């Protein structure tokens, strides 16, 4: 299937960046946005300055305020907590269509993964999950980026990946939807923790140790959820974890830095990890998985313990073998 027409739902930074990637791959793209100013700027000036500065957008992108029924491939690019509402608005139009999910987060209240929400709200749609080390500005600017695209059907997943592959955007097809989703959601929580280490000036050694232990914790949870451990060695696992836990381009990392300095992060509600952290804690406890790092992030967010006390607690946990 050629997938000539792509509809991207979400006019923020990530939605616009993915629209750009699809356009650079030769697709005809409609970007569905709510903000009239964003729609007009994209159509008249090929810019979305509110989210991506002065990056020039492809002429193959047309912004609309409604879903384009011609689309044979749909990309959902709204925040994780908004996915259910966005899908419900177009559910009737998604039957038989592949829907690429790009949000990285677990739904508050239900602990649902993004693909589970699709199956509930739009059961006729075919879900795929896009994740991996990628910042919107890099994708939109045409900087080399490699990601994972997971789907249930191997051949169909490869076709969708090929439709989105361009000169600087390379999706690798995979089959572990669960593992890719869990890795994408939890890396935001661990990015908060690593940002807090940076904000508290605890040093690069502490941050590197935290990333390694986060990987171990993530592995336990992923396998318990039915994911494949080897998924975490790839782009959606270690690749995305490393990027989000080391760069100030990451909104979650910046929010964590504010926490580490003893404050509350500005705009924390926009950082997916802030909303996912309590959901992840509930999920880990339900599974009976020891998740001290997720617990620590929740203590920081609740303001019930200082980072010094949390670090002291982690450092005095009983010693055990790493293997």
What does the pLDDT read at residue 317?
81
Do 145 and 258 share a domain, yes or no? no
Report if residue 146 sits inside a domain.
yes
Do 15 and 159 share a domain, yes or no? yes
The enclosing domain of 244 has a CATH number of 1.10.1040.10
What does the pLDDT read at residue 266?
63
63 in helix, strand or coil? Answer: strand
Res. 267 pLDDT band, cuts 50 70 90? low
Of 121, 148, 175, the residue that ends a domain is 175
Average pLDDT, rounded, for the chain: 94
The enclosing domain of 40 has a CATH number of 3.40.50.720
Res. 323 pLDDT band, cuts 50 70 90? low
* Percentage of the chain lying above the pLDDT 90 cut: 89
Distance CA 256, CA 191 (A): 7
Question: How many domains would you assign to the chain?
Answer: 2
Report if residue 320 sits inside a domain.
no
Of 156, 175, 194, the residue that ends a domain is 175
* pLDDT at 315 > cutoff 90: no
**How is residue 132 written in tokens?**
């991996």
* pLDDT at 90 > cutoff 60: yes
What does the pLDDT read at residue 85?
97
What does the pLDDT read at residue 263?
82
Asked if residue 260 lies in contact with residue 311, where contact means CB atoms within 8 angstroms, the answer is no
Give the model confidence (pLDDT) of 141-190 as tens digits. Answer: 999 999 999 999 999 999 999 999 999 999 999 999 999 999 999 999 99
C-alpha dist (Å) from residue 37 to 52, 65, 70: 14, 11, 24
Report the run of H or E that residue 38 belongs to, with start and end: helix 36-45
Range of the domain at 126: 5-175
- Among the ranges given (16-30, 204-218, 263-277), the one the predictor scored with the smallest mean pLDDT: 263-277
Distance CA 27, CA 163 (A): 8
**How is residue 276 written in tokens?**
């996912």
* pLDDT at 71 > cutoff 90: yes
Sign of CA dihedral 96, 176, 88, 79: negative
Of 120, 147, 175, the residue that ends a domain is 175
Res. 118 pLDDT band, cuts 50 70 90? very high
Res. 262 pLDDT band, cuts 50 70 90? confident
- Among the ranges given (195-199, 269-273, 277-281, 297-301), the one the predictor scored with the smallest mean pLDDT: 269-273
Res. 309 pLDDT band, cuts 50 70 90? confident
* Percentage of the chain lying above the pLDDT 70 cut: 98
Output phi, psi for 245, to 5 deg. -95, 5
Report if residue 123 sits inside a domain.
yes
* pLDDT at 308 > cutoff 90: no
| Rounded average pLDDT over 262-279 | 79
Number of Cα atoms under 13 Å in the Cβ half of residue 291? 28
Active-site positions read 187
For the chain, report the end-to-end CA distance as a whole number of angstroms.
46
Please return the burial class of 158, using the count of CB atoms within 10 Å of its CB with bins 0-12, 13-18 and 19+.
Answer: middle
Output phi, psi for 79, to 5 deg. -55, 150
* pLDDT at 301 > cutoff 70: yes
Distance CA 215, CA 70 (A): 42
What does the pLDDT read at residue 2?
76
* pLDDT at 269 > cutoff 60: no
Distance CA 32, CA 44 (A): 15
Res. 54 pLDDT band, cuts 50 70 90? very high
* pLDDT at 290 > cutoff 70: yes
What does the pLDDT read at residue 322?
79
């Amino acid at each position: 299937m050629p997938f000539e027409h792509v509809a991207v739902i979400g006019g923020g930074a990530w939605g616009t960046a993915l629209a750009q990637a699809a356009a650079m791959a030769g697709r005809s793209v409609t970007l569905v946005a709510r903000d009239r100013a964003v729609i007009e700027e994209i159509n008249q000036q090929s810019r979305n300055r509110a989210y991506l500065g002065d990056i020039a957008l492809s002429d193959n992108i047309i912004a609309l305020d409604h879903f384009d029924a011609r689309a044979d491939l749909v990309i959902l690019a709204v925040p994780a907590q908004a996915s259910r509402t966005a899908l419900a608005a177009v559910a009737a139009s998604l039957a038989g269509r592949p829907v690429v999910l790009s949000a990285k987060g677990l739904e508050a209240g239900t602990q649902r993964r993004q693909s589970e929400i699709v199956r509930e709200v739009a059961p006729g749609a075919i879900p795929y999950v896009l994740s991996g080390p990628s910042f919107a500005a890099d994708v939109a600017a045409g900087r080399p980026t490699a990601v994972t695209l997971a789907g249930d059907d191997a051949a169909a997943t490869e076709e969708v990946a090929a439709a989105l592959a361009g000169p600087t955007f390379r999706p690798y097809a995979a089959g572990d939807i669960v593992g890719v989703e869990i890795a994408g959601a939890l890396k935001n929580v661990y990015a908060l923790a690593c940002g807090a280490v940076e904000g508290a000036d605890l040093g690069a050694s502490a941050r590197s140790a935290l990333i390694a232990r986060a990987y171990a914790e993530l592995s336990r949870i992923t396998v318990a959820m039915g994911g494949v451990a080897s998924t975490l060695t790839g782009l959606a696992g270690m690749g995305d974890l490393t990027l989000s836990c080391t760069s100030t381009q990451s909104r979650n990392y910046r929010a964590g830095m504010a926490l580490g300095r003893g404050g509350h992060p500005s705009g924390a509600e926009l950082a997916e990890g802030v909303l996912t952290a309590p959901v992840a804690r509930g999920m880990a406890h339900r599974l009976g998985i020891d998740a001290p790092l997720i617990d620590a992030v929740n203590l920081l967010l609740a303001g019930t313990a200082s980072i010094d006390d949390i670090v002291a607690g982690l450092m005095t946990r009983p010693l055990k073998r790493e293997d």
